Amino acid sequence: MDKKEVRNIMSKRRKSMSEQEVNRKSKTIIEKVMNTEEFKKSKNLMVFLSFDNEVYTFDLIDKAMDMGKKVVVPYTVKDTYEIIPTLLKNIEEDLEVSSYGYLEPKKDKITAVQEEDIDLTIVPGLAFDKNMNRIGFGKGYYDRYLAKTKKDSKNMAIAYEYQVLEEIPYDDYDVKMDYIITEENIYKNAE
* Domains contained in the chain, CATH given: 3-130+141-188 (3.40.50.10420)
Sort strands 70-77 and 82-87 into parallel, antiparallel or unpaired: antiparallel
Render pLDDT for 166-175 as a digit per residue (tens, 0 to 9): 999 998 888 9
Provide the 8-state DSSP code for 106: -
* pLDDT value for 101: 85
Residues 6+ apart with CB under 8 A from 189: 132, 176, 177, 178, 179
Its pTM stands at 0.94
* pLDDT value for 116: 92
Render pLDDT for 123-132 as a digit per residue (tens, 0 to 9): 999 999 999 9
Q: For the chain, which residues score pLDDT lower than 50?
A: none
Rounded to the nearest 10°, the torsion over CA 117, 123, 129, 130 is 50
